[in-house]
Amino acid sequence: MSVLLRYRTLKNGTKSYYLDISHNNERYREFLHAKIKKELDKDDKMDIQRLAEAIRNKREKELIIDEHDIQDFTKSNICFTTYFENYDKEYKKNDKRKIHSSFLQFKKHFGKIKAKSLNHRQCESYLEFLNLNLTSDTVSSYFGVFRKVLHEAERDGIIKKDPTKHIKVKKIHRKLNKQVLTIDEITSLINTECGNPEIKRAFIFSLNTGLGLAEIKKLEWSKINDGKISHFTRAKTDTPLVIPLNKDALFALGRREKISNMVFDLPTSTNGCNKVLNNWVKRAGITKHITWYCARHTFACNLLIYGANQKTVANLMGHTNSTITDKYLNHVSTLNDSAVNLIPSASENIG
Task: Give the Cα separation of 30 and 295 in Å (integer).
Answer: 61
Residue with more model confidence, 51 or 239 = 51
DSSP H helices in the chain: 42-67, 73-76, 80-90, 96-110, 120-133, 136-155, 183-190, 197-207, 213-218, 247-253, 270-283, 293-305, 310-317, 326-340
Tell me whether residue 97 is exposed, middle or buried, using C-beta atoms within 10 angstroms of its C-beta: 0 to 12, 13 to 18, 19 or more. exposed
Please name the amino acid found at residue 260: S
Percent of the chain scored above 90 by pLDDT? 32
In the predicted model, is pLDDT for residue 37 greater than 70? yes
**Per-residue confidence at 351, pLDDT binned at 50, 70, 90?**
very low
Residue 152: which of 206, 189, 99 has the closest Cα?
Answer: 99
Percent of the chain scored above 70 by pLDDT? 83
Question: Are 326 and 173 in contact, with CB atoms under 8 Å apart?
Answer: yes
Long-range contacts of 36-45 (CB under 8 A, 24+ apart): 36/7, 37/13, 38/12, 38/13, 38/14
In the predicted model, is pLDDT for residue 257 greater than 80? no
The total number of residues written for the chain in this structure: 351
In the predicted model, is pLDDT for residue 349 greater than 60? no
pLDDT digits (tens, 9 = 90+) for 313-335: 777 877 766 556 666 656 555 55
Task: Give the Cα separation of 129 and 350 in Å (integer).
Answer: 57
Question: Are 273 and 292 in contact, with CB atoms under 8 Å apart?
Answer: yes
Per CATH, which fold does 183-340 belong to?
A: hpI Integrase; Chain A (1.10.443)
In the predicted model, is pLDDT for residue 43 greater than 90? no
Q: Taking the complete model, does pTM exceed 0.75, yes or no?
A: no
pLDDT digits (tens, 9 = 90+) for 93-133: 878 889 999 999 999 999 999 988 899 999 999 999 998 87
Tell me whether residue 350 is exposed, middle or buried, using C-beta atoms within 10 angstroms of its C-beta: 0 to 12, 13 to 18, 19 or more. exposed
Per-domain residue ranges for the chain? 2-70, 75-155, 183-340
**Per-residue confidence at 6, pLDDT binned at 50, 70, 90?**
very high
Average pLDDT in the 172-198 region?
Answer: 82
Question: Are 21 and 27 in contact, with CB atoms under 8 Å apart?
Answer: yes
Task: Give the Cα separation of 116 and 102 in Å (integer).
Answer: 20
Task: Give the Cα separation of 120 and 57 in Å (integer).
Answer: 33
In the predicted model, is pLDDT for residue 181 greater than 60? yes
Average pLDDT in the 11-39 region?
Answer: 88
Task: Give the Cα separation of 52 and 211 in Å (integer).
Answer: 59
Distant-in-sequence, close-in-space partners of 183: CB < 8 Å, separation ≥ 6: 302
pLDDT of residue 74: 55
